[in-house]
Structure 1
Amino acid sequence: MTTASRPAAIRRPEDSEILGTPGASSVRLLIDSNETGGSVSTVEVTLGVGADGATPHYHTLSDELFFVADGELQVMAGDEIVTVGAGGALVVPKFMPHAFGAAPGSPARLLIALMPGVERHGYFRFLEQLGQGKATPADIEAAQADYDNYFIDAPQWWAERNANRA
């Protein structure tokens, strides 16, 4: 039998940091890449009915796995906009533009994993600071490179999201 090169990364629910509003839209920070030797970064995202999640963006270092635990998730993956229900999953390869939000009329709870991992928990803390006015939109450009999260314009995504709100 061989010995693992690092210990198992374990995060108990009571030890998880939660950003946002639990029960509405929130992010539970699970296990980040510094705890996995860079193999994976994970978060759990909870979105209220029809709530927006991530705006259109892409990553240059990691593929991104989405597993829908509850509800329905609307996702832009490249040129496609699809809805994935509870128990479904998709993987968006690096460089593919993508965005997500709870499907119209539905909440969503999902696990997101970036593989290989990048330090992601700092990015979600940055977004919370931005929402609280403790960071400025000018800080976004630097944060893109720091967290491998590059925003893009995707009019088809916003047209779809806005059409469902009308």
Structure 2
Amino acid sequence: MTQEVQSSSAAPFRPVLTRRADAETCADPSSVMTLLADSDSTADGFTSYRSTFAEGAVGAPAHFHTKATELFFVISGSLQVLVGDEVTVLGEGDFLAVPPHTPHAFAAAPGCKADVLFVFTPGMGRFDYLRLLGRVMRGEADAKEIAASAERFDNHYVDSPAWRAALEVSA
């Protein structure tokens, strides 16, 4: 559960504190997503969650957002990412900002685990999307629901030969 902290400043939203013990988690066979702050508690300013990927975790296929910038901060481990047509590996302490309309994808780097903080700005109610992803990965929902939600969650999947090639090499 997200907790609001009292503040006397004139901020567009109240400070948000999410305690580890109160955070909702969405787990699938290869990752755990810890939901930290969604747009409803940040006046649409941002959405943030943390993903812990097991070795070999697939992450997200190539996609782009039309409205949001997606920020990545690698807490530990290594994350393989696609940005545009370039595939690279982010290591502990690395930061990446992917602007709108830029195709990107990510997965645990070959032979590695990854712990990553994600922030979307502006926010737009992505927690329901993350919950849906977890249900699909666990076989509790049909993957067609993800495609049907593209506009609602500003998540548009694309084909990326560079990403497919990188995944083939790491398999």
The two structures have a TM-score, normalised by structure 1, of 0.92
Q: In structure 1, give the amino acid aligned to 2:26.
A: L
State the partner residue of 2:4.
Answer: none
Correspondences of 1:33-44 after superposition (within 5 Å):
33-44=39-50
Aligned residue in 1 for 2:35 = 29
Change (3 A) 1:138 1:106: closer
CA distance in 1, matches of 2:145, 2:31: 23
Supply the distance in 2 between the matched residues of 1:2 and 1:47 (Cα, whole angstroms): 37
Task: Give CA deviations for 1:10-55 in whole Å, capped at 9, x if unaligned.
Answer: 1100111111159x51111110011100111001011111321111
Matched position secondary structure for 2:159 = coil
Matched, 1:13 2:13: no
Q: Does 1:137 align with 2:136?
A: no
* Change over 3 Å in CA distance of 1:160–1:36 after alignment to 2: same
Query: Sequence identity of aligned pairs in percent?
Result: 38
SS of the residue 1:94 aligns to: coil
Q: Give the aligned residue type for 1:164.
A: S
User: Structure 2: where are the runs of 5+ without partners?
Assistant: 1-7
* Per-residue Cα deviation, 1:92-141 (whole angstroms, up to 9, x for no partner): 01100000011111100000000111111000111122234443233223
Secondary structure of 1:52's match? coil
The aligned counterpart of 2:112 is: 106
Q: 2:131 aligns with which of 125, 130, 136?
A: 125
Q: Which runs of 5+ in 1 are unaligned?
A: none
3-state secondary structure, aligned to 1:122: helix
Q: How does 1:86-97 map onto structure 2 within 5 Å?
A: 86-97=92-103
User: Per the alignment, in what secondary structure is the counterpart of residue 140 of structure 1?
Assistant: helix
Return the offset for 1:2: 4.7
What TM-score, normalized to structure 2?
A: 0.89
2: CA distance, partners of 1:33 / 1:8 = 13
Cα RMSD for the two superposed structures: 1.7
